[in-house]
Amino acid sequence: MKKILFVASEAVPFIKTGGLADVVGSLPKCFDKEYFDVRVMIPKYLCIKEQWRNGMQYVNHFYMDYLGQSRYVGILQYVYEGVTFYFIDNESYFCGDKPYGDWYNDLEKFAFFSKAALSALPVIGFRPDVVHCHDWQTGLIPVHLKDKFHDGEFFASMKSVITIHNLKFQGVWDVKTIQRLSGLPDYYFTPDKLEAYKDGNMLKGGIVFADAITTVSNTYAEEIKMPFYGEGLDGLMRARSNSLRGIVNGIDYDDFNPETDRHIVQPYNAKNFRKEKIKNKAALQEELGLQRDDHKFMIGIVSRLTDQKGLDLIQCVMDEICTEDVQLVVLGTGDEKYENMFRHYDWKYNDRVSALIYYSEPMSHKIYAACDAFLMPSLFEPCGLSQLMALRYGTVPIVRETGGLKDTVEPYNEYEGRGTGFSFTNYNAHEMLNSIRYAKHVYYEKKREWNKIIDRAMAQDFSWHTSAMKYQELYDWLIGY
């Protein structure tokens, strides 16, 4: 039995701020239980909902020397859907009403967590073959495994993997601070290790010292070797390219299933969507006060409203997008300029634009089920989950060819009768607009072709089981059998 430990800063259903939580919470239950014992370790935040906190069982506790003081480390556990989750408890570090907030405190909190996570393993008697770390918050773990923890027999043969979910966030501060928080000797703070551009960098430590590196799509794995996407670490990504592989994220096919989704008015599937899907559109038009019209081309956007998501492109051509024969539904929060832009167009085109400047899981499901197309023109997108949900619901994605969007949406080819969506290559508003117009043309003029695109989209399999197989191969290769 191969033992794997996921260490991360968040995991569904306990705590979530982004896609990282979906990966850490959903992936472990998809491994072959006969060969793999996969467990998860995250901090026990005070902001985890009470229903989850009350179900946690105390396992043990110990005191650990950190920053010259003896600090309490509690260990709790909760078995959820057959997976054991461990929680590292220290109220002075993990209090607050959200998991992250203040950069400096976050650095200290996760430096503490990284050391505590490894120190807890002998206490709970779980000795993983592979410690699978996620993002900068756990970047110090592969370094510790090669340093202080390497001497003991318990840790000697332990391997580490780090997954980069978004290279933009790296855990950077001045060298003196990172050295103090990590407790690592001077040896580690050179440009070929944890120092980057005269600063200390926690993620870089993980990338340099991990035995393998993954990221969340094949294209993103190639892109981060180039300066534009590499966030200053492209040289390191090229140097470690032999250890780097892309594995596309999945989505939970039980949660996102148009046939059983309790959030939507009319369930449907790949066989009957031609008749049934449209009832969701009618219901959403009714709910949002849009003009009731079965035939109007409805585009959905469910997104954080930030520059990364390509919203400046939409801003450039918003009037051209919102023509008479289109309805646009937007759900999300983010930068004020984009929130206000969508509010303005909601006011200007009241019967055909609806801006929902908040986030709601049930509403996102309604949008995936109701819309004809789903727009995602990201500047960069390591993997992206929204387009996978859109494909699952037979809502045709219109995406820019970057990262996971390029890997998961095959552009429509009218000559070969292939493709699951529409795409454009350059980061250019009019190129995006042309893709939208082309999609609209197929929708209105070639309805049979449009329905075949939906057939192919709904036949795709981006469930976690596909990703789990690839991770199993990686672990087998690392452990050496």
Q: Where are the domains of the chain?
A: 2-250+465-479, 273-461
- Amino acid at site 413: N
Q: Residue 481: what pLDDT?
A: 67
Domains 2-250+465-479 and 273-461 share a fold: yes
Please give the Cα distance from 162 to 202 (Å, whole number): 12
- H/E run at residue 329: strand 326-331
The predicted-structure confidence for 232-289, as pLDDT tens digits, reads as follows: 999 999 999 999 999 999 998 988 999 999 999 999 999 999 999 999 999 999 999 9
Cα–Cα separations (whole angstroms), residue 75 to 61, 87, 175, 199, 341: 6, 6, 31, 33, 47
Please give the Cα distance from 403 to 397 (Å, whole number): 15
Residue 16 has pLDDT above 80, yes or no: yes
- Average pLDDT score over the chain: 96
Topology of the domain comprising 273-461:
Rossmann fold (3.40.50)
Q: What angle do CA 296, 344, 321 make, to 5 degrees?
A: 35
Confirm if 458 and 390 have CB atoms less than 8 A apart: no
Q: Is the dihedral of CA 417, 422, 426, 430 positive or negative?
A: positive
Confirm if 112 and 147 have CB atoms less than 8 A apart: no
- H/E run at residue 479: helix 464-479
> Helices (DSSP H) in 19-169: which residue ranges?
19-26, 50-55, 91-94, 103-124, 140-146
Token couple for 381? 């997108």
Please give the Cα distance from 406 to 404 (Å, whole number): 5
What CATH homologous superfamily does 2-250+465-479 map to?
A: Glycogen Phosphorylase B; (3.40.50.2000)
Which residue do the tokens 């990703």 mark? Answer: 467
Band of pLDDT at residue 18, cut at 50, 70 and 90: confident
Interaxial angle between packed helices 273-288 and 361-370, expressed in degrees from 0 to 180 and rounded to the nearest 10 = 130
The predicted-structure confidence for 73-115, as pLDDT tens digits, reads as follows: 999 999 999 999 999 999 999 998 999 988 899 999 999 999 9
Please report the DSSP string for 43-74 in residue order.
Answer: E--TTS-HHHHHH-EEEEEEEEEETTEEEEEE
Q: Which has the minimum average pLDDT: 143-152, 200-209, 367-376?
A: 143-152
Q: Give the mean pLDDT of 53-73.
A: 97
The predicted-structure confidence for 442-452, as pLDDT tens digits, reads as follows: 999 999 999 99
Please give the Cα distance from 356 to 330 (Å, whole number): 6
Give the other-Cβ count within 10 Å of 143's Cβ: 24
Please give the Cα distance from 362 to 372 (Å, whole number): 18
Q: What angle do CA 91, 68, 94 make, to 5 degrees?
A: 15
